Amino acid sequence: MTNILEVLTDEKSRTNFMRGLINLSKAEESREGSVGINTEEMTFLKNAMLALNLPEYTQRELETFVRSKDNAINVSFETKRQALFFLREGMQICYIEGQYYQTEKDMIEEMAKMLGVSCETVKKIEQWVREGIEWSARGEEILEMEG
């Protein structure tokens, strides 16, 4: 299993990673009837900030960004590995609610272009994430087999 701190090696890459995840969480806000970042995503984001060992001032800035109406996408990474890691993890947060909405897909595609990642690679990542979600769901079903 990849250690996130081995991929995102400095504060800048970890902050960019979080800003990108926040953008993806905000993408859903534009859907009709959405009331902002849901509790599960907010919990995930806060835990991610802690796991990334971000300084308190950076965490406060990111929390302000969460609450702001600013949806400007400005993600960048110094390595292709960081960009691919971000896209993989970003898609997973999109699936937290069990669905990958078109607004999220569109933003992932826009971010991938910004990061120089091909559509083919994005599709491979999406397939891997979807297979992982399905695998996990089958594992949950096992717990209910004789209950």
When comparing pLDDT for 69 and 126, which is higher? 126
| Residue 92 reports pLDDT greater than 80 | yes
- Token reading at 83: 């960009």
| CA–CA gap between residue 30 and residue 45 (Å, rounded) | 19
**Which residue's structure tokens are 């890691």?**
85
Give the model's confidence band at 121: pLDDT under 50 very low, under 70 low, under 90 confident, else very high: very high
| Residue 3 reports pLDDT greater than 90 | no
| Residue 29 reports pLDDT greater than 90 | no
When comparing pLDDT for 119 and 136, which is higher? 119
Q: How many residues does the chain have?
A: 147
Q: What is the pTM of this model?
A: 0.86
| Residue 34 reports pLDDT greater than 70 | no
pLDDT in tens, 43-64: 888 899 999 999 999 999 998 9
The contacts of residue 126 (CB under 8 Å, 6+ apart) are 91, 100, 108
Average pLDDT, the chain: 88
| CA–CA gap between residue 140 and residue 137 (Å, rounded) | 5
| CA–CA gap between residue 30 and residue 121 (Å, rounded) | 26
| Residue 14 reports pLDDT greater than 60 | yes
Residue spans per domain, the chain: 10-142
Other CB atoms within 10 A of residue 121 CB: 14
Give the CATH fold of the 10-142 domain.
TerB-like (1.10.3680)
